[in-house]
A = this chain, B = another copy of it.
């Protein structure tokens, strides 16, 4: 069990180091990567604001999509997103600290379903995301 957790952590660190989009462009942090689970965090900054002066919904999706990627690659099988769906429940305001927690719901054969919940610092749910994954060949590390 501990071996799986160690592997998930190594996969997470390796992917995150290479993930310029999430780390540099968006300013996300990877808080944890465990088998079938991941947690990430992103503070809403000026660079994230759209024409309505709130966090671009695409970047809330991106936070969830990144967390999804860590959760579904955590078993060290290269896995990609086939599709995803998001419900926007509350806007993200400048300065909000958004935390995304993701959890594997089912993994059958090559296909999995993963749920991500994005919350702000008040505990309000900002968005609910569901992703569908497909394993391809290869390992991450």
A residues apposed to B, CB below 8 Å: 14-22, 24-25, 46-53, 55-59, 61-66, 69, 78, 80-91, 105-106, 108, 111, 113, 115, 117, 124-125, 128, 130, 132
Taken together, the copies of this chain in the complex come to 4
Instruction: Decide if A83 touches B83 in the complex (CB within 8 Å).
Output: yes
Q: In the complex, which residues of chain B have a beta carbon less than 8 angstroms from the beta carbon of A20?
A: 46-47, 49-50
- Cα–Cα distance between A119 and B14 once the two chains are bound (Å): 30
Given contacts A56-B65, A130-B130, are A19 and B88 in contact (CB under 8 A)? Answer: no
Chain A interface SS verdict (over half): mixed
Given A56-B65, A81-B88, check contact A108 B130 (CB 8 Å).
no
Cβ contacts under 8 Å, A46 to chain B: 20
Expressed in whole angstroms, the minimum distance between the Cβ of A57 and any Cβ of chain B is 5
Using CB atoms, name the residue of chain B closest to A132: B87
